[in-house]
Amino acid sequence: MSTQAFDFGKAVFHFFNVAGRKPAAVLWIGLWQALLTAGLVYLAFATIGDFYFWIISQAVTGHEPNETEVLTRLGSTMTVMPLISIGGMLIALMAQAAWLRLLTRGEMAAVIPFRLGGDELRLFVTNLGLLAVAMGFYFVSLAVTVMLVGGVVAFAGGNGSTEAGLAGGFVAAMIFLALVLAAVFAAVRLSAAPATTILEKRIAFPAWSMTRGIFWPLLGAYVLVAIIIGVLSAIIGTVLNITLLGAFMPLIGEFAELAQSGSQPPPEEIMAMLEDVFTRPGVLTSITAVGLLSVILRSFADAVWHSVGASVAIQRGTVEAAQ
């Protein structure tokens, strides 16, 4: 495989090129991910939120929660949480597969872009491989860090000098830095595995050959994409936060008046004020709209990140097939 078969510009702007060609598909996948995530968040809020609101109401009214009732409510919440966690992982897997299908094969499932099939199963296995590598790095780094700290302490204590401690600390820091760099190297070299798995419809882990000879330009592409995502997220996030802040201005004004008057309303009155604000149609609409837009934008950010690996899989896979 030619080490020159990599277009930096295509890798960085691959998502935007696809979005320009198929804007409806991009919006449809983002909308479905937002709706499914919103449904899961609502379910989590309905279970966990109900428990915490009950605890708060008991504290506000000065009642001592009954231990049996606390355990009963907590048990019901803990029963649902594993299901919510599994649902979250399934949504994330289906979203990743949907984006990679669009970014690599230009395909989107009809009507409902999310599904559970062969692509998702192969991607799940590939992700397990990536997770195993990440966990391996984590435990190795943890073990090395513990040994380094112990070694530095023993070395400094044995020599009884500040210079010995500084020297040992410097060596430990250099070894830890080397582990971080090794983790970055592995992450970049393995980054094309998910996209290659979807593109070639096979478990492509670790897809090491896909990134051979292009580590530095590929690392640069990920750094630039991270900067683009960060800047766009900051700008759009500021607009959304200002919009949401406007919905809470009446409540902020009421609290400001209370502060100026020096009055201290009882907790029951504060809870009533909060309940009144959160039940207003305008506030509920604003929170829902901002929440959905935030999830859609988060979905787009994930797609932009995945698009770098997708571009690598397309560019390098084409050259490999030709050879």
d(CA 290, CA 248): 13
Q: Assess whether pLDDT exceeds 80 at residue 33.
A: yes
At 52 the pLDDT is 66
Residue 136's CB: how many other CB atoms inside 10 A?
12
3-state secondary structure of 214: coil
Q: What pLDDT, in 10s, does the model give residues 184-237? A: 999 999 999 999 999 999 998 888 888 888 999 999 999 999 999 888 888 877
Is the CB of residue 203 less than 8 Å from the CB of residue 128? no
Q: What is the reported pLDDT for 123?
A: 95
Instruction: Check pLDDT > 90 for residue 25.
Output: yes
DSSP letter (8 states) at residue 212? T
| Residue with the two structure tokens 């210079």 | 163
Q: What is the pLDDT of residues 156-195, one digit of tens each?
A: 555 555 665 666 667 777 877 888 888 899 999 999 999 9
Count of alpha carbons within 13 Å of 83, Cβ hemisphere only? 10
Task: Give 114-127 pLDDT, tens digit per residue.
Answer: 988 999 999 999 99
Reply yes or no on whether the pLDDT at 2 is more than 50: no
Which residue would you say has higher pLDDT here, 232 or 77?
Answer: 232
At 4, is the pLDDT very low, low, confident or very high (cuts 50, 70, 90)? low
177: burial class by Cβ within 10 Å (0-12, 13-18, 19+)? Answer: exposed
pLDDT at 282: 65
How many other β-carbons are positioned within 10 Å of the β-carbon of residue 44? Answer: 17
Written as six digits, the tokens of 205 are: 């882990």
pTM for the full predicted model: 0.76
Predicted local confidence at residue 171, as pLDDT: 72
Kindly give, in sequence order, each residue whose CB lies less than 8 Å from that of residue 130, ignoring residues fewer than 6 positions away.
190, 193, 194, 205
Mean pLDDT, rounded, of the chain:
79
| CA nearest neighbour of 192 among 319, 312, 314, 13 | 312
The larger pLDDT score, comparing residue 269 to residue 89, is at 89
Q: How far apart are CA 28 and CA 152, in angstroms?
A: 55
Least reliable range by pLDDT among 10-19, 169-178, 307-316 = 169-178
**Is a pLDDT exceeding 60 seen at residue 100?**
yes
Task: Pick 67 or 22 by higher pLDDT.
Answer: 22
181 CB-near residues (< 8 Å, 6+ apart) = none
For the chain, count helices (H), then strands (E): 12, 0
% of the chain beyond a pLDDT of 90: 30
Closest CA to 95 of 303, 310, 291, 301: 303
Please report, rounded to a whole number, the percentage of residues in the chain having pLDDT higher than 70: 68
Residue with tokens 């989590």: 44
Most confident range (mean pLDDT) of 96-100, 210-214, 272-276 is 96-100
- Judged by average pLDDT, the poorest of 41-45, 141-145, 255-259 is 255-259
30 in Cβ contact with 302 (< 8 Å): no
Average pLDDT over residues 241-262: 67
Q: Residue 321 pLDDT > 50, yes or no?
A: no
Q: What's the CA dihedral at 210, 216, 217, 223 to 10 degrees?
A: 110
The pLDDT of residue 208 is 87
Spatial distance between the Cα atoms of 230 and 238, rounded to a whole number of angstroms: 12
Q: What is the pLDDT of residue 319?
A: 44
Surface-to-core class of residue 35, CB atoms within 10 Å of its CB (0-12 exposed, 13-18 middle, 19+ buried): middle
The predicted pLDDT at position 322 comes to 37
pLDDT at 93: 94
Which position has the higher pLDDT, 105 or 239? 105
pLDDT the model gives residue 3: 47
Regarding predicted confidence, which is higher, 40 or 239? 40
Length of the chain: 323
Diameter over CA atoms, the chain = 79
